[in-house]
Amino acid sequence: MKLQVCGQEIFPAALNSLQPALAPLSRQCRHEGGPLSLKPFCLSDTLKQVEIERPQKHGALEVFPLRWPVVSHLDYMTLDEALEARSIEITEFTEGGRVSLVNIINRSERMVFVMAGEHLVGCKQNRVVNSSVMIPPDTQIPLPVSCIERGRWGYRTQTFSSGHSSSHYVLRAMMACGAADCDRGARGPKANQAAVWREVSRKMRAMDSRSPSDALQAIFLNHDARLNEWAERFPVPTDCNGAVFVVGGIIAGADLFGSQETLRKLWPKLLRSCAIDALESPEQDRESTAAEEITRWLARGVDARQQAFPSPGIGLDVHIQGKEITGASLVVNDQPVHAELFHPTKLTREPAGADRADTNTYPHAANGREKRPSFEPLFAGENRMPMQFCSFDGSYLERLRSGDVQTQQHFVSYFSELIRLKLRRRLSSPSAIEDVRQETFTRVWVALRNERDIHQPESLGAFVNSVCNNVLREHYRRTSKEVPSGDEAEANVPDPAIGAVDVIANGQMRQKVRHILDQLSERDCLLLEQVFLEERNKNQVCHDLGVSREYLRVLLHRAKKSFRALSLGVTLTT
């Protein structure tokens, strides 16, 4: 047997490395079928046998009930059941909070299932669960989440409660695509937080919803009456354990569960999440979607690539990626718990040739309407905009505070590049860099809401830098008490071909160079890093900075002169 884990094929002898992530399940499942199985559940085999029932239709929403031929004997509670019984407690990851993680404690003797997309409200800001997770009994674990309330970073309650809602399918599909593409760390799947915020803002405008803190939950509260009306039109499918949802004639996705009872309990959340998207779709008569089209789409999953990762809880998180289909399946003790499938090309991509926002302009579509944002990673390396240094005025700050989308996109794009440049010199782990970046933006957004925090628009850059410094110091204090793991640990392993004296000497030299770079101006540091450390093509550097080759030589001469002076202990004057 071969198993693909974290992108690599491993054999039974190497499976011991996965045992720590799966061991808590052994005592729970021993009575349900013998020893723990590490073989991933094969979704493709069962998709061939899915039975499609007669659809239900209302407005722009069609629901095709599914009979998924699987058997699961796992005993667990849903999130809402566990919260109501006070069997679990969900809090911020630390007292200071961390955007991408929350802490969940299961005090019961039963497992607890948390579905991807479920909303957690309260604490310092509302969150959405990144992927489906099974929480072991009598256990405390970190739960990967994303922020869906950009404008708040302060305690409203000490613990999270259920939002009794799940993210709309467009956002869930976007997060599933991002999780499939991301570099997963030791703490599970991570979403592109900037893209999540962008989609939340777009959805709130499309639904004409308002929230002082940009909370996605406001949409469900504002449209509660209409959602209840739709819920009456779509009762829980009988004798089924899944459904395909079609919005505006386009397949949005499907949810399948290991038991009919789980579908029944989570049906209100699933239906409301699709109804929210259907309410956005224009009201018009459409022909019903043919069952054959659903069959053809599900068949795409048969040939899709499956990639297994240890789940943040117990079991395996199996990512599915194929032509016109993507998603994930949570498998515990070789028994399916939940599979979510999406049609990424129709729900999560911009039309071909769509322009991306420039760093210094705010374009709109030719018809005057604002463009629908792409859900591809916002800062993929091949799509980064040329780096240009900006100054800010009162008009820019006002547009930023008022929620102007193009200004916000420019702000995030511009400062993301500078923050990453700053952090690459200080942190070796890409996941740590992303955590600090996201935390920095969260705090800056909250400060922007409070007009007393930023008095001078021209000091906006210095303010963002100081916030980043504070977050970075907190990260240093936190990680100094933790044992490094994953990519951070690997980054600290010395080359075995280098002697001990060389390691010490190289380490001292790196510290000295880093210390000098930290004292240089942002532009000098950027030039030296790109030309000498990253060895980038000078023509590309000129293009990014908007200067000629002749002037680049002047800038490099000045930067090297400043570096040389600092290395000799000379204090630079401004």
Residue that has been written with the tokens 């293009």 in this structure: 543
pLDDT at 237: 94
Q: State the pLDDT confidence band at 257, using cuts at 50, 70 and 90.
A: very high
State residue 181's pLDDT score.
Answer: 58
Summarised one tens digit per residue, pLDDT across range 107-127 is 999 999 999 999 999 999 999
Interval 405-411 mean pLDDT: 79
**Pairing state between β 88-92 and 101-106:** antiparallel
Query: pLDDT class for 188, splitting at 50, 70, 90?
Result: low
pLDDT at 487: 42
Under 8 Å between Cβ of 40 and 306: yes
86-118 burial: b if 16+ Cβ within 10 Å, else e: ebbbbbbbeeebbbbbbbbebebebbbbbbbbb
Residue 386 to residue 360: CA distance in whole angstroms: 10
Q: What is the mean pLDDT of residues 485-496?
A: 42
The confidence band for 356, taking pLDDT boundaries of 50, 70 and 90, is very low
pLDDT band at 239 (very low <50, low <70, confident <90, very high): very high
Domains within the chain, CATH numbers bracketed: 3-347 (no CATH), 355-362+376-493 (no CATH), 498-574 (1.10.10.10)
Question: Rounded to whole angstroms, how far apart are CA atoms 192 and 378?
Answer: 8
Return the SS3 of 30: helix
**222-234: pLDDT as tens digits:** 999 999 999 999 9
Contact 171, 203 (CB under 8 A): yes
What DSSP letter does each residue of 454-485 carry, written as one string? Answer: ---GGGHHHHHHHHHHHHHHHHHHHHTTS---
Mean pLDDT of 563-574: 70
Angle between helices 224-233 and 260-280 (to 10 degrees): 130
DSSP 532: I
List Cβ neighbours of 177 (8 Å cut-off, separation of 6 or more). 326, 342, 344, 348, 375
Q: Give the three-state DSSP class for 134.
A: strand
Residue 481 — pLDDT band, cuts 50, 70, 90? low
Beta-bridge partner residues of 330? 317, 338
Is the pLDDT at 176 greater than 80, yes or no? yes
Residue 40 scores a pLDDT above 80: no
pLDDT at 411: 85
Helix, strand, or coil (residue 516): helix
What confidence score (pLDDT) does residue 11 get? 36
- Please, where are the H alpha helices in 348-459? 394-402, 405-424, 430-449
Q: Count the residues in the chain.
A: 574
- pLDDT tens readout for residues 41-74: 577 778 888 999 999 999 899 999 999 988 889 9
- Give the mean pLDDT of 188-204: 85
Q: Which helix (H) or strand (E) holds 79?
A: helix 79-84
Q: How large is the average pLDDT for residues 130-137?
A: 95
Written as one string, the DSSP assignment of 139-205 is EEEEEEEEESBTT--S-S-SSEEEEEEE--HHHHHHHHHHHHHS--BTTB----HHHHHHHHHHHHH
**Mean pLDDT for the stretch of residues 371-399:** 51
User: Mean of the pLDDT values across residues 190-203?
Assistant: 87
pLDDT at 284: 62
Q: What is the mean pLDDT of residues 522-535?
A: 75
Residue 453 — very low, low, confident or very high, per pLDDT cuts 50/70/90? low
Mean pLDDT, rounded, for 255-268: 96
* pLDDT of the residue at 285: 62
> Is the model's pLDDT at 391 over the cut of 70?
no
- Confidence at 427, pLDDT banded by 50, 70, 90: confident
Instruction: Kindly tell me if the per-residue pLDDT of 352 is higher than 50.
Output: no
- The pLDDT score that the predictor gives to residue 271 is 95
How far is Cα 555 from Cα 522, in angstroms, rounded to an integer? Answer: 12
Give the tokens for residue 162: 């259920």
Mean pLDDT over the full length of the chain: 77
Question: DSSP letters of 397-408?
Answer: HHHHHHT-HHHH
From residue 443, give the alpha-carbon distance in Å to each of 98, 542, 553. 11, 33, 38
pTM (2 d.p.): 0.63
